[in-house]
Amino acid sequence: MSWEDVALGDMDVFVDNVTTNASYGNGTGCEDANTLTSEGPTAGMVATAAFLFLLTALTVVGNGLVLLAVAKHRSLQTLTNTFIVSLCVSDLLVGALVMPPAALTTLFGQWVFPQPFCPVWVSFDVMLCSASILNLCAISLDRFIQITNGLQHGTYMTRTRVAVLITVAWILSILTSFPPINLGLHEHDGFPTLTNLTFLTVTPQCIFDPNMAYALSASIVTFYIPLTAILFTYGTIFREAKRQAARVAALNVQLRNEGRNNRGSRRAGVNGITSLKAIRTLGIILGAFMITWLPFFIANVVRPFCYCVSGQVFEVLTWLGWLNSALNPIIYPLFMKDFKRVFKKHMPGFCKRDAGSSVGTVPEGAQPGKPFQSSTVQPACTDTVSELHPGPVTISSLNVPALPSVVLPSMRRASTDTMSPKIKTLRMALFSFLLFLMTTSLRYTLTGGDVRVRIFIDSTHKDFGPPPEVAILLSNSVNHSRRSRDILNSVNRQRPTRHEFNSRVIQIFRNQLNSQVHTPEIFVLTQSNTRPGDRIPYLRGRRGFNIDQKLHSLQPPSIAAGGGIFDRCSVVGNSGIMKDSGCGQEVDGADFVFRLNLFPTLPKFTDDTGARTHLVTCDGVTLNKKFLNLGEPQWRQAFQNYMTNSRYGPVLILTSPFSSREHTQKLLDLQRTVHDQLGMRATVVLGHPVHRNATVEYWHRAGLGRTMSNGFYLVSSALSLCNEVTVFGFWPFTEDKQGRPVDFHLAQDMWPHLSHEQGEESLNRMRTEFQMLQELDRLGLLRLVTDPC
């Protein structure tokens, strides 16, 4: 049953069934291939499930093994390893508490846990990830002190100071998560809380979309400041390691030239190897941290400003950040000699020594045929970062004897084969995986990073062909600083052409738009998307309105969803440009006609504006000006007379009672008045404030401002519900193309409160929206009529 059927028939039933074929949250509007359906799991779903749960298991097991090793071996219970323990605790909890719910949500396409658990889970996510990053910062500070002030490290890093550093890291993590999230400080004004997201979809969701203030402040405290500290500390360590490597290389050349003893050459080579390993280790540590977390936090601070990163890309970047918790127990203990020694003891083959690789030459005193191990050779399992010389390295500190010797044939041999082939393979696989993640995340960031709306064809959709990218460059068409005359001149320069709707782009755009604003589900309040006792948020402010049983019973049962309910739709504005346009017949030729602000379809207007109306808006200002108090009988009768004289047939009256508290009661009285007047063939429906907020946010990210006119809101809703949309009467100028004056409102004499002075502010806003409509017309998404028909 379509809306037209309802409008022409029984008005007590708005629309029949709900058919939810649009995916929610991060979807594209098409059927989501990653959502479990009644048809059973697909190969892609099985692969996704296997990868996500393997990553979760790796995170839990890896961090658990490190914690177990520390608990079982007293040699690992040092102050330095206290930071490692704190890091592993945070990462272990990420794998145990954060990843499993996220994996299930990804697989099932909805929040499968009780709704009150949503803000708790989000708070744990923010807290534990922040704690992990801050612990990494503390580790970098500890190693910085080890390298730059090695002899005083114990003086600086006392037990008390270590405890203070770890405590501060966890307190900052808690303060940036639980209090602001549970107090609603992260929310957009008027947007529902995490415990009340049933407004958005038919299925429950847990969507964390912080406002600009929270996203910026939390990102700066928990990532960008620690990132700066990590870059500074590891940069200093890197320079020290590079300086030592250069000094040792110069010393080795000097020893070769002077023919010094091979013992001194070997000691110089060993220190050079240590420095080179330290540089490589620092590269791996910094690379893993930057690759996993930097793309997420770039997207996190960009999203509140523009729609540059889609929900799917953001989900990938979130999992990329969580991957850091799986890599930390591999990277840090792998390069620390104490942990290597323990793992070697309990895991044979983890780290082994190659006799040929550890001795370059046979020193004096060694007997042929007998094995020899020099006490000066660096063990195979070393902490190449923390084992750097604690102070400045000098030639004298190497204790090189001035004796003739045999020069080492090659130091390259001593720097290889210090680990088993299994560990070498593991390290190579880890490096390749990090390189793959870096290129993948960079590709996602670049494809989503342009300040414009990008739409991609889903190749899995049955109606689509090959998946070329369709870029909708909406934001480029909007210039907020353009003057009215400049815009009008650009309209005059356009040559008249035969307009053609681009059905392929329309379908893609509608799917993408509905995946964000969910028009088929929450365009108006219904008995399906609300329940008695629900609190509906106001568009402005944090307060809401409670839905009681009586008000709930007045709402229509549900809304029919589905792509393109109507074939052709007309959206008719009230600008004076419609005068003598002769467009009435074309308006009435549509399957569904949207009108604005209770415009009267009187005989004197029908030749220009048409006579048919299926949905008309009514705002609180108009209602207050024309009908002061619908709670009184005389004003109810006046409203009924107006509707009768305006020759409205069966019509839907769309109101926005939750735009502000001052108009709520008047618009709710309107619904009760229309419902109680048996002679009126009309039904009042209440616009859902979440849909309005989502629509405003969607177009704001495409280039519009935060305030949207009712006219553009109707156009956006029509794009979600119709295959072909034609827009009439949208003209935000005080003169036409020929320079003749144009009234702000076609029925100016009937609406004296809409003067040119009062309408000028609306005109300025509508000029920006007009530029957007021009671009949509150019792309074939709608037809904008600016000339007489």
pLDDT grade for 123, boundaries at 50, 70 and 90? very high
- Position 209 scores a pLDDT of 77
Confidence check: pLDDT of 564 > 70: no
For 457, 458, 471, 505, the CA distances from 463, given in Å and listed in that order, are 10, 9, 19, 12
Let me know: does 758 contact 483? Beta carbons within 8 Å. no
Domain at 116, CATH number: 1.20.1070.10
Taking the C-alpha atoms of residue 642 and residue 639, their distance in angstroms, rounded to an integer, is 5
Same domain, 489 and 437: no
| Minimum mean pLDDT range among 139-143, 189-193, 348-352, 545-549 | 189-193
Mean per-residue pLDDT, 273-293: 73
Residues 176 and 200 in one domain: yes
pLDDT of residue 8: 31
Stretch 429-456: mean pLDDT: 44
Is 708 domain-assigned?
A: yes
Cα gap 55→223, rounded to integer Å: 23
Tokens of 542: 């944090």
683 membership: H or E segment, kind and range: strand 682-686
Mean pLDDT of 399-421: 39
Kindly state whether residue 639 falls inside one of the protein's structural domains: yes
Q: What is the pTM of this model?
A: 0.50
* Pair (434, 465) in one structural domain: no
Q: State both tokens at 780.
A: 């074939």
**Local structure of residue 688 (DSSP, 8 states):** P
Decide if 398 contacts 267 (C-beta within 8 A).
yes
CA distance to 130, 142, 321, 784, per residue, from 324 (Å) = 12, 20, 6, 50
Instruction: List the one residue out of 547, 605, 603, 594 whose CA is nearest residue 726.
Output: 594
Which residues, 6+ apart, have CB-to-CB distance to 336 below 8 Å?
84, 383, 386
Task: Examine the domain organization and report whether 478 and 346 are in the same domain.
Answer: no
Residue where the block lists tokens 């990494």: 136
The DSSP annotation for 733-764 comes to SSB-TTS-B--SSTTTTT-TT--HHHHHHHHH
Same domain membership, residue 221 and residue 110? yes
What six digits make up the tokens of 122? 């989000």
Is residue 69 within 8 A of residue 339, CB to CB? The reply is: yes
- Give Cβ neighbours of residue 154 (< 8 Å, ≥ 6 apart): none
Query: Of 197, 194, 220, 198, nearest to 208 (Cα)?
Result: 194
- In this structure, are 524 and 428 located in the same domain? no
User: Mind listing the pLDDT tens digit for each residue in 503-562?
Assistant: 888 887 888 788 778 788 888 888 888 888 877 777 665 567 788 888 888 888 876 544
Q: Residue 628 has what pLDDT?
A: 61
607 and 685: one domain? yes
Q: In terms of pLDDT, which residue wins out, 591 or 457?
A: 591
Q: What is the pLDDT of residues 50-85, one digit of tens each?
A: 899 999 999 999 999 999 999 998 888 988 889 999
Mean pLDDT of 316-322: 93
List strand residue ranges (DSSP E) for 365-484, in order.
Answer: 453-456, 469-472
Nearest-10 crossing angle of helices 421-448, 262-302:
30
Cα–chain-centroid distance for residue 337?
40
Last residue of a domain, one of 431, 448, 465: 448
Confidence bin at 446 (pLDDT 50/70/90): very low
In this prediction, residues 429-450 reach a mean pLDDT of 49
- 287-297 average pLDDT score: 92
In a domain, 295, yes or no: yes
Q: How confident is the model at residue 32 (pLDDT cuts 50, 70, 90)?
A: very low
| pLDDT band per the 50, 70, 90 thresholds, residue 46 | confident
| Reported confidence tier of residue 314, pLDDT bands at 50, 70, 90 | confident
Q: Could you give the number of structural domains in the chain?
A: 2
The 3-class secondary structure across 38-103, one letter per residue, is: CCCCCHHHHHHHHHHHHHHHHHHHHHHHHHHHHHHCHHHCCHHHHHHHHHHHHHHHHHHHHHHHHH
Burial of 355 (0-12, 13-18, 19+ CB in 10 A): exposed
d(CA 757, CA 620): 20
User: In the predicted model, is pLDDT for residue 351 greater than 70?
Assistant: no
Residue 568: what pLDDT?
Answer: 92
Q: How confident is the model at residue 186 (pLDDT cuts 50, 70, 90)?
A: confident
Amino acid at 767: R
CA 339 to chain centre: 38
pLDDT of residue 170: 96
State how beta strands 615-618 and 592-595 pair: parallel
In a domain, 412, yes or no: no
Give residue-wise pLDDT tens across range 376-392: 344 444 444 444 444 43
- 294: nearest Cα among 448, 514, 441: 441
Domain that holds residue 471: 457-784
> Once rounded to an integer, what is the mean pLDDT over residues 662-667?
71
* Ramachandran quadrant class, 259 (left: phi over 0; alpha: psi -120 to 50; beta: rest): left
Domain boundary among 428, 448, 468: 448
Residue 26 has pLDDT above 70, yes or no: no
Contact (CB, 8 A) for 153 and 390: yes
Predicted pLDDT of residue 494 = 58
Amino acid at 183: L
Nearby residues of 767 by Cβ (< 8 Å), 6 or more positions away: 482, 484, 487, 732, 733
Mean per-residue pLDDT over the chain, rounded: 71
Q: Find how far residue 29's CA is from the centre of its chain.
A: 17
Instruction: With respect to residue 377, please indicate whether it lies within any of the assigned structural domains.
Output: no
Please give the single-letter amino acid code of residue 465.
G
On the question of pLDDT at 447 being above 90, the answer is no
611 and 588 in contact (C-beta within 8 Å)? yes
Q: Based on C-alpha coordinates, what's the Rg of the chain? A: 35
Asked if 345 and 473 sit in the same domain, the reply is no
Task: Check residue 262 and give its pLDDT.
Answer: 52
**The CATH number of the domain where 474 resides is what?**
3.90.1480.20
Residue 280 lies in a domain: yes
Q: Which residue, 506, 739, 779, 615, is CA-closest to 14?
A: 615
What pLDDT does 385 receive? 45
Q: Taking phi first (over 0 means left), then psi (-120 to 50 degrees means alpha), and beta for anything else, what does residue 365 get?
A: left
| Residue 419 clears pLDDT 70, i.e. is over it | no
Same domain, 653 and 733: yes
Summarize pLDDT for 580-633 with one digit per residue, the tens: 889 999 999 999 999 988 887 778 888 998 988 889 888 777 676 666 666 677
Secondary structure of residue 456 in the 3-state scheme: strand
- The predicted pLDDT at position 293 comes to 95
Q: Give the whole-angstrom CA distance, residue 472 versus residue 492.
A: 24
CB 569 within 8 A of CB 546: no
Picking from 448, 466, 495, the residue at the C-terminal end of a domain is 448
582 and 538 in a common domain: yes
Q: What confidence score (pLDDT) does residue 484 get?
A: 57
- Measured between alpha carbons, how far is 396 from 711 in angstroms, rounded to an integer? 82
DSSP state of 557: S
Q: Please check whether residues 567 and 434 belong to one and the same domain.
A: no
Structure-block tokens of residue 641: 């007379």
Over residues 177-191, the mean pLDDT reads: 77
What is the longest distance spanned by two Cα atoms in the chain?
119
The pLDDT assigned to 130 comes to 95
Pick from 397-411, 635-649, 650-664: least confident: 397-411
Intra-chain end-to-end CA distance of the chain, in Å: 32
Please compute the mean of the pLDDT values over residues 428-440 and round it to a whole number: 57
Calculate the CA 66 to chain-centre distance. Answer: 33
In this prediction, residue 488 carries a pLDDT of 58
H-type helices in 460-527, by residue range? 484-493, 503-517, 519-522
Task: Indicate whether 459 pLDDT > 50.
Answer: no
Would residue 233 count as lying in a domain? yes
- Identify whether 227 is part of a domain: yes
| Residue (of 731, 507, 752, 516) closest to 625 by Cα position | 752
What digits encode the pLDDT tens for the residues 236-261?
888 887 787 777 677 766 766 665 55
SS3 502: coil
Burial class (CB in 10 A: 0-12, 13-18, 19+), 586: middle
Over residues 666-721, the pLDDT tens digits come to 777 777 777 666 455 778 888 888 888 888 888 877 778 778 888 999 999 999 89
Q: Does residue 465 or residue 149 have the better pLDDT?
A: 149
Residues 548 and 435 in one domain: no
- What pLDDT is recorded for position 10? 32
